[in-house]
Amino acid sequence: MEFYKKILENNKKWVEEKLSVNPTYFARLAEGQQPPLLWIGCSDSRVPANEIIGAEPGEVFVHRNIANMVVHSDMNMLSVLDYAVNALKVQHVIVCGHYGCGGVKAAMGNSSIGIIDNWIRHIKDVYRLHKDELDAVENEKERFNRFVEINVREQVLDLAKTSIVQSAWKNGQKLHLHGWVYGLNSGYVTDLNVNFSSNEDLDEVYQLYFGK
Ligand SMILES: [Zn+2]
């Protein structure tokens, strides 16, 4: 109960602080949003999107789930992506994974945790795709880190495969996809330099053609 009371108090303090600097702070925000960035990150409490990049309210549209997955049948993710790209016209989408990710760790093991097993399975699919590379890393911690990085790359690729992103590119919309990994013990992010800017960067089977 202490914690619960504290967060309500924190909210009041936060509002007062913001208003003391700028009396129209919330009135301005209420007018609308035009964030330049969509963040797809992990639900992990230690990876707060705004804080890490020093973003103010209004600057980043956020979607988070376990292990920052881009699952092509996930209506939640697709709706967020569609709104971000087609309504808000974001120019950047960042998939941000993090070292020490519990979801990725679970995907390396075989224990059943519950219904989440079915979500984790998507991460296991990534392992299977990169089994040779991952199995070759003998040190378990290094293999775990590598898997986190590979998973981010794969999710950026999955973003590029979506009809939403391909359609935006076809229409000449500026849309840059990025893959990052956040270090829980350093606070720094590493840009994995996974860059796609056209559907021609995709395997042919994934390329979509629009219209005639
Ligand atoms: Zn995580």
Domain for residue 167, yes or no?
yes
Q: How far is the CA of 109 from the centre of ligand 1 (A)?
A: 15
Domain for residue 90, yes or no?
yes
Considering the domain architecture, whether residues 166 and 85 belong to the same structural domain is answered as yes
Q: How far is the CA of 5 from the centre of ligand 1 (A)?
A: 28
Domain for residue 24, yes or no?
yes
Q: How far is the CA of 195 from the centre of ligand 1 (A)?
A: 22
- Give the domain extent around 161: 34-198
> Does the pLDDT at position 199 exceed 80?
yes
> Does the pLDDT at position 68 exceed 90?
yes
Predicted local distance difference test score (pLDDT) of residue 14: 97
Q: How far is the CA of 41 from the centre of ligand 1 (A)?
A: 8
Domain for residue 68, yes or no?
yes
146 is catalytic: no
Considering the domain architecture, whether residues 105 and 9 belong to the same structural domain is answered as no
Domain for residue 204, yes or no?
no
Domain for residue 171, yes or no?
yes
Number of domains comprising the chain: 2
Considering the domain architecture, whether residues 61 and 28 belong to the same structural domain is answered as no
Predicted local distance difference test score (pLDDT) of residue 212: 58
pLDDT tier for residue 197 given thresholds of 50, 70 and 90: confident
Q: Say whether 96 counts as a known binding-site residue.
A: no
Domain for residue 83, yes or no?
yes
Backbone angles phi, psi at 188, to 5 degrees: -85, 150
Q: Which residues contact 9 (CB under 8 A, 6 or more apart)?
A: none
> What number of helices (H) and strands (E) belong to the chain?
9, 5
Asked if residues 153 and 192 have their Cβ atoms less than 8 Å apart, the reply is yes
Q: Say whether 135 counts as a known binding-site residue.
A: no
| Residues facing 116 on adjacent strands | none
- Express each pLDDT in 83-97 by its tens digit: 999 999 999 999 999
Considering the domain architecture, whether residues 17 and 63 belong to the same structural domain is answered as no
Exposed / middle / buried, residue 201 (Cβ in 10 Å: 0-12, 13-18, 19+): middle
130 is catalytic: no
CA 190/CA 36 separation, integer angstroms: 20
